Amino acid sequence: MLLNEDLTKRTVVHAGRLDWVPSPMKGVDRRMLFRIGDEKARATSIVRYASASSFSHHQHPGGEEFLVLEGVFQDESGDFPAGTYVRNPPGTGHAPKSAEGCTIFVKLWQFKEADRNRIVRYPSEGEPTFARDGVASARLLFDGSNETVVMEDWRPNSDVEVDNSKGLELLVLEGDFVESGEAFLRWSWLRLPPEQEFRAKTGPAGARVWYKSGPLLHADVCAFEAPQSRGSKGR
């Protein structure tokens, strides 16, 4: 499968408007944003776990990065409530589940080969940073491997710019804004190639966004080398 695979184009998916599509795993549905491959894929998705859904233990040879949007995501290492950001690097594995159900934004098989640090940022964790016009607060979630990952709250009725020298990927978590004449609402996803300008005008409620500044796909992205078990097919 190829979905939004052309990284040279401005790409927008208003994921909040999409239907949920069942995955091969019972109780797990998804809204696909980007995909190169079938069930073993470089993929960016919003994934919904029904209550009491679970997977058997499986590996992520190409790494897994996720942000919990709703509910509580769980695995052997603990509980991850809404707002938690996790990077499970290449070679790690787990048995995910959710007792009460959850929704996550997840990126698979997009790590650099040498990126081997596990990162967990619980809600309100992360270094305060990036004070600038229109931004009420910002938290640095990750800075490394030529990537910068940030959670920001944008002030109501404000003009906000985000640097895009390397490439930009952004997900709206709350609120709304207009960018390039297009309205972005909760769970709208934007991907911009390098040097395309980003200027937004927020609405009366402001906006909370997650974004990543960095190459849209690393030159040394972790290769498809090892097979994934059936348990990884829900993403």
Alpha carbon distance 63, 107 (integer Å): 8
Q: Is the pLDDT of residue 234 over 70?
A: no
Question: Given phi > 0 = left and psi -120 to 50 = alpha, else beta, which region is 51?
Answer: beta
Contact 192, 198 (CB under 8 A): yes
Q: Is the pLDDT of residue 233 over 60?
A: no
Q: Which residues of 107-127 are buried (b: 16+ CB within 10 A; e: fewer)?
A: bbbbbbeebeeeeebeeeebe
Contact 179, 199 (CB under 8 A): yes
Q: What percent of the chain has pLDDT over 70?
A: 95
Strand partners, 89: none
CA distances 49 to 33, 44, 172, Å, are: 17, 16, 20
Region(s) of the chain under CATH 2.60.120.10? 2-12+19-121, 127-213
Residue type, 148: T
The tens digit of pLDDT for each residue in 95-113 reads 899 999 999 999 999 999 9
Q: Is the pLDDT of residue 195 over 70?
A: yes
Per-residue pLDDT, 228 = 38
The tens digit of pLDDT for each residue in 46-58 reads 999 999 998 778 8
CATH 1.10.10.60 holds for 127-213: no
Confidence of residue 235 (pLDDT cuts 50, 70, 90): low
The tens digit of pLDDT for each residue in 17-27 reads 999 999 888 89
Q: Is the pLDDT of residue 227 over 50?
A: no
Q: What is the mean pLDDT of the chain?
A: 93
Q: What is the pTM of this model?
A: 0.94
Residue 152: how many CA atoms within 13 Å on its side-chain side?
A: 24
Pick the CATH number of 2-12+19-121 from 2.60.120.10, 3.40.50.1000, 3.40.50.11030, 3.40.50.1170: 2.60.120.10
The tens digit of pLDDT for each residue in 68-102 reads 999 999 999 999 999 999 999 999 999 899 999 99
